[in-house]
Amino acid sequence: MTDVGAMYIGAGLAAIGIGLAALGVGNVFGSFLEGALRNPGAADGQQGRLFIGFAGAELLGLIAFVVAILILFVVKG
């Protein structure tokens, strides 16, 4: 296997993290909806916390994307 090939495989492996972050983001919104449908009166007050959870889950996926980009464009194969 050449170095360039290994680089592409590494970038592809880093992209797995983005899918895992998708699970996290879905979990955040799914759990929020589940709670919000049981008690719709309290849902509006928790929207800030919803987006904080979303931001935290999303950030880790974006970091996986940054790792993939670094492998592809910064590391010289």
Partner 1 sequence: MSAGAINPMEQFEVGKLIKFDLLGYDLSFTNSALFMFVVAGLLFVFMLGGMKRSLIPGKWQLMAEGAVGFIDSMVTNSIGKGGKKFAPYIFSLFFFILFANLVGILPLAVVPGLHTFAVTSHITVTAVLAFFSFGIVLFVGLFKHGFKFFGLFVPHGAPLWLMPVIIPVEFISFMVRPFSLGLRLFVAMTAGHILLEVFGSFAVQGLNAGATGSPIGFGVWIASMAMIIGVSALELLVCAIQAYVFALLTSLYLHDAVHLH
**Interface with partner 1 (CB under 8 A):** 48, 51-52, 54-55, 58-59, 62-63, 65-66, 69, 73
Q: Which is nearer to partner 1, 6 or 52 (CB)?
A: 52
Which among 58, 75, 60 has a CA at the least distance from the CA of 11?
Answer: 75
How many residues are there in the chain? 77
Q: Which is nearer to partner 1, 36 or 63 (CB)?
A: 63
For residue 73, which amino acid is it?
F
Which among 18, 6, 7 has a CA at the least distance from the CA of 66?
Answer: 18
Q: Which is nearer to partner 1, 36 or 72 (CB)?
A: 72
